[in-house]
Structure 1
Amino acid sequence: MTATTDVTTATGLADRVLGGWLGRIAGNMLGKPVEQGEVWTRDRIDRYLRATDALPLTDYLPGPPTETEERALRPEWRTCVRGRVHGSCRDDDVDYAILGLHLLETHGFGFSTEQVGDLWLLRLPYLQTFTAERAAYRNLANGLRPPLTATYENPYQEWIGALIRADVHGWVSPGAPGRAAALARKDAVLSHTGNGVYGAMWAAALVAAAFTAATAREAVDEALGVVPASSRLARTVRRVTSLHESGLPWEDTLDTLEEETAGLGWIHTVPNAAVITAGLLYGDGDFSRTVALTVRGGLDTDSNGATAGSVAGVMCGAAAVPDQWKVPLEDTVRSAVFGFDGVRISELAERTLRLARAEV
């Protein structure tokens, strides 16, 4: 994925940061209607797209062709499909990016894991948290402190929640994947362990590397350097890169990884990291193709679309994100984070840019 803007200039960095926000929100919106991996398999998503004459996918999902499909979609589909998008719908994949920005503005880059938890209790409604985050929130409310917040009665420690919180740490660390990973780790250990933490570190590093990498493959390789090489996450990402390099088609690569990660579940970090990696590599520098392949890959579609969109948006810059993705967003975000509902995407990007400039 060849960059079209120069991160070393003020204008270039601003375009990349805004591209990351736009890409995350658009990718999240694309995947939101079919976010339920055990129902919306890769095969079913493509059958839906064929039935609506939407392959190749180059825009938000079309509305459902039948009542059966309508009932299967997430209820948010009415604000996430073509012709119905007027600003972003509320979603935790965007809420955590906003909360992470507020964390850095409030406490700086030296924030502690305890301060992450304090901000959750202050700004984030409990019922807008899920899986590992809800377990950690409950533990915080009951007086536990990290790392017990991540381990006590929490069966979701390696699920994708920490990964979806990581992008902001990459946006404020342009070209510095190690630094981004260190920030993401402090956030992640509030609720996750093992591959759950490695996934957050990898995602933050991937976004940070995207500012200076010449291609998606280069960003993926750089991001691998921040997690233990023997971890299942790293081994799975390397497996995707080797299959892509061998010339195996995208569908066959995901078939192979589906077999090799069987049993982990559709919200586990590892198989979702495989889908994200495949989307970036087979997307081959095209924003629309990257987010489309990632969402068509199934599993946690909105989270994966958001992460791949963020990386692709950083690499190409906001100016190069096609209008069909960004114009319907109307520069507006709905959010459950207290004090941020209705905030402008451009404002979020400007606030992120101030932090990023301090570190360039």
Structure 2
Amino acid sequence: MKKLLLVPLLTLLAFSRTAGDAAVRPPASAPKKAITLAKATLQDKIKGGWAGQVIGCTFGGPTEFRYTGTMLNDYQPIPWYDGYIKKTMIENFGLYDDIYMDLTFVDVFEKKGLDAPVSEHASAYATAGYMLWHANQAGRYNLLNGMKAPDSGHWLNNPHADDIDFQIEADFSGLMAPGMPNTAVQIGDPIGHIMNYGDGWYGGAYVGAMYALAFTSSDVNYVVNEGLKVIPQQSTFYQCIADVIKWHRQYPTDWKRTWFEVQQKWADEVGCPDGVFQSFNIDAKLNSAYIVLGLLYGGGDFTKTMQISTRAGQDSDCNPASAGGILGTMLGYANIPAYWKMGLAEAEDIDFKYTTMSLNDVYALGMKHALQVVARNGGSVNGDQVTIVPQTPKPVRLEQAFTGHYPRSVTGINKDLTDEYSFDFEGNGFVLKGEAKPKNRSSWQYENPFAFTAELFIDGQKVETAKLPAGFTARRHDLFWKYQLTPGKHTVRVRLLNPDADHVVRIGDLMVYGDKPLKIKY
């Protein structure tokens, strides 16, 4: 999203930490032979991918972020019944941000072609009427205020760059590229960098690669391991998922033991200001670990996969959505158990909110786009047969966000900004959380046209003038932030240029970073 950064010492340390786990990645294999599928089989797998995603999202919806830093116990029921999907699509449509973001990009490919520039995708999602959060909303704000991708997703401009966002909406890339994980990553690369960077991008690359591989393999272990080859071994994302694979081998029948190992080693949040110092964690690699947990311990069983990826907690609608979509692609629509397709048919003609597209629409478009991608990548379509040239995954470039930044403190400010606010801190970065909003909450609007203008000064120098919209869809997710400051003492001043009688800027928490990790000794 932002300008490129050097990733020196932290990257080297991260690499050395997992040198002993390098065996998780098998050596590159020889070029693979072409694979031929019947058109009906390919269509069934595409349907299975989209349907599996909707099933997982719906099933995990009631648990989303209600279990943070813990798991759902086995005795806690999660509802599922005939008519549940339709009811949720109509009454709780905001749950499906996974889907309507995916469909935004599918729609651009359909209207503008497979070579549509990233600016078309960026514009479509930035100006859509749907609600967004975290990296998606931060990226949208950046685009609406003149920044272009990939700067809009870079961690210097987006404090949520490592969040889960592209991971939950990258399904389209793998479903367009059957058997071709490198092509899936290539399709998703510019789009993923609209809102994410580093581990946040890797989450989408990994999910897209696993979808692609699920077309040509019925082995969950193979898909999980082979898909990870698209991620650089030096990255923290790779190291986290490699650990899950390793622990699964150590504790093959105990997913909860692996969950505890993940929690112990990988649950510390660094980037997202809403998760640092909280049990809440929307980091891509942690939630991807829960996807892999469901896939590996589910062993190809749809029910086990749904239950485990949901009961792992955190973003527990998105994680079973990804796991369900990948497994649904592998199994095919016809082989998803009838229990999980209960009531699905009556929902397949309903347009997802904020779109003009239903599941039946995307089944057809998904097939159309997949055939186009197959033909572009050495494959062919002959009558009812589709020949795919499968790819051996190759690692993408190394990106790491928040290098050299370690959370040091969080302080609740909790006051209204009426004219100016100043604070001192010692460190190399900060995030000032808060929101602009109407004073009368009943007059709150998604598209409130009012926006404050505020200036940011650091050590007496003005470094930014920013708009702070009061409308939800245009809002700035965090008020101000700055990274890569010279370690030491700094003075920050925020000045409001246009106070308004009907609106207010509410300052929340101040989060401070240092250049060295804080370790509590006990």
Q: What interval of TM-score do these two structures reach, taking the shorter chain for normalisation?
A: 0.7 to 0.9
The structure that has the greater radius of gyration is 2
CA distance in structure 1 between the partners assigned to 2:69 and 2:232 by the alignment: 30
Q: Which amino acid aligns with 1:35?
A: E
User: Which residue of structure 2 lines up, in the alignment, with residue 70 of structure 1?
Assistant: none
User: Which residue of structure 1 lines up, in the alignment, with residue 59 of structure 2?
Assistant: 30
Q: Which amino acid aligns with 1:145?
A: K
CA offsets, 1:208-240, max 9 Å, x none?
A: 011112311111122111111111111111111
State the shift of 1:145 in Å: 1.1
TM-score, normalising length: structure 1: 0.84
Identity of aligned residues (%): 27
CA distance in structure 2 between the partners assigned to 1:30 and 1:206 by the alignment: 21
Give the SS at the match of 1:31.
helix
Higher helix residue share:
1
User: Which residue of structure 1 lines up, in the alignment, with residue 300 of structure 2?
Assistant: 285
User: Which residue of structure 1 lines up, in the alignment, with residue 81 of structure 2?
Assistant: 82
Q: Is the 1:100–1:165 Cα contact (8 Å) retained in structure 2?
A: no
State the shift of 1:144 in Å: 1.3
Flag structure 1 segments of 5+ consecutive residues without an equivalent: 1-5, 55-60, 63-80
Give the SS at the match of 2:343.
helix
User: Which residue of structure 2 lines up, in the alignment, with residue 117 of structure 1?
Assistant: 122
Matches within 5 A, 1:300-319: 300-319=315-334
Matches within 5 A, 1:239-278: 239-248=243-252, 249-264=254-269, 265=275, 266-278=281-293
Q: Is the 1:24–1:306 Cα contact (8 Å) retained in structure 2?
A: yes
CA offsets, 1:61-82, max 9 Å, x none?
A: 22xxxxxxxxxxxxxxxxxx53
Q: Name which of structure 1's ranges 152-161 and 163-172 shifts more when overlaid on structure 2.
A: 152-161
User: Which residue of structure 2 lines up, in the alignment, with residue 72 of structure 1?
Assistant: none
Give the SS at the match of 2:195.
coil
User: Which residue of structure 1 lines up, in the alignment, with residue 335 of structure 2?
Assistant: 320
CA distance in structure 2 between the partners assigned to 1:244 and 1:332 by the alignment: 39
Higher normalized contact order (CA 8 Å, seq sep 6+, divided by chain length)? 1
Q: Is the 1:170–1:177 Cα contact (8 Å) retained in structure 2?
A: yes
CA distance in structure 1 between the partners assigned to 2:168 and 2:85 by the alignment: 23
CA offsets, 1:74-133, max 9 Å, x none?
A: xxxxxxx535514252210111221121122123332322221111134x215x111111
CA distance in structure 2 between the partners assigned to 1:188 and 1:230 by the alignment: 20
User: Which residue of structure 2 lines up, in the alignment, with residue 163 of structure 1?
Assistant: 167
User: Which residue of structure 1 lines up, in the alignment, with residue 98 of structure 2?
Assistant: 93
User: Which residue of structure 2 lines up, in the alignment, with residue 335 of structure 1?
Assistant: 352
Matches within 5 A, 1:116-135: 116-122=121-127, 124-125=128-129, 128-135=131-138
The reply to whether residue 225 of structure 1 matches residue 229 of structure 2 is: yes
State the shift of 1:42 in Å: 4.1
User: Which residue of structure 2 lines up, in the alignment, with residue 78 of structure 1?
Assistant: none
Q: Which amino acid aligns with 2:99?
A: V
CA distance in structure 2 between the partners assigned to 1:176 and 1:226 by the alignment: 11
Give the SS at the match of 2:342.
helix
User: Which residue of structure 2 lines up, in the alignment, with residue 179 of structure 1?
Assistant: 183
Q: Which amino acid aligns with 1:336?
A: K
The verdict on how the C-alpha distance between 1:324 and 1:334 changes in structure 2, with shifts beyond 3 A counting, is farther
Q: Is the 1:34–1:40 Cα contact (8 Å) retained in structure 2?
A: no
Q: Is the 2:241–2:289 Cα contact (8 Å) retained in structure 1?
A: yes
The reply to whether residue 147 of structure 1 matches residue 144 of structure 2 is: no
CA distance in structure 2 between the partners assigned to 1:215 and 1:42 by the alignment: 29
User: Which residue of structure 1 lines up, in the alignment, with residue 46 of structure 2?
Assistant: 17
RMSD: 1.9
